[in-house]
Structure formats: C-alpha cells, structure tokens
C-alpha cells in the first residue's frame, strides 16, 4: 500500500511538473513573439532614419552646390566690374 501511495504521489508530481513546463514554454514563446515584434519595429525605425539621413544629405549637397554657383556668379560679376578694377588700381 505504501508503494501505491508513493506511485500516486510521483504521478501527481510528474503531471504537475509537466504542466509547469508547458506553462513556461508558453510564456517563453509569448516573450519570443514580443521580442520579434520589437526587433521588426526597431529595424523599420532604423530604415526610416537611414532614409531620412540620406535624403537630408542629398538636400544639403544640392543646397551647397546652389550656394557655390551663386557665389561664383556674383564673384565673377564683381571681378569683371569696372569699379572693382578701378579700386584695385587706386590701391
């Protein structure tokens, strides 16, 4: 009789252990899903930031080229003007 009670106790412990393992696996699977979602969100944010910075760099490059052209245009006008040439002669 003692062995029968011991066997029931072991079976009960084994079933309880298996339930705990199932619950733990379920929790870990849910956590893994959450982590996967966070990774996807952060990858998308990183891609968006990369696109933003690339576009900003393109705009800044266009802006600097435009300023360069504007400077060259006005500099050449100043260099070619008679007032500038007279000013250079006087000094």
87 or 14, higher pLDDT:
14
Q: What is the mean pLDDT of residues 49-70?
A: 97
More confident residue, 18 or 83: 18
Pairwise CA distance, residues 49 & 38, whole Å: 16
| Residue 78, C-beta contacts closer than 8 angstroms, at least 6 positions apart | 84
Confidence (pLDDT) at 24: 97
Alpha carbon of 80 to those of 67, 75, 89: distances in Å?
A: 20, 9, 14
Band the pLDDT of 81: cuts 50, 70, 90.
confident
Q: Read off the pLDDT band of 8 (50, 70, 90).
A: low
Evaluate if pTM is beyond 0.85.
no
Residue 1 scores a pLDDT above 50: no
* 42 has a pLDDT exceeding 90: yes
In this prediction, residue 76 has a pLDDT band, given cuts at 50, 70 and 90, of confident
Annotate the chain with three-state secondary structure: CHHHHHHHHHHHHHHHHHHHHHHHHHHHHHHHHHHHHHHHHHHHHHHHHHHHHHHHHHHHHHHHHHHHHHHHHHHHHHHHCHHHHHHHHHC
């Amino acid at each position: 009789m003692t062995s029968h009670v011991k066997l029931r106790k072991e079976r009960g412990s084994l079933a309880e252990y298996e339930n705990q393992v199932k619950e733990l696996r379920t929790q870990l699977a849910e956590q893994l899903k959450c982590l996967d979602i966070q990774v996807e969100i952060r990858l998308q944010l990183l891609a968006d930031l990369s696109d933003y910075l690339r576009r900003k760099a393109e705009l800044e490059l266009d802006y600097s080229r435009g300023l360069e052209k504007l400077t060259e245009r006005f500099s050449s006008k100043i260099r070619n003007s008679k007032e500038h040439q007279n000013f250079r002669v006087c000094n």
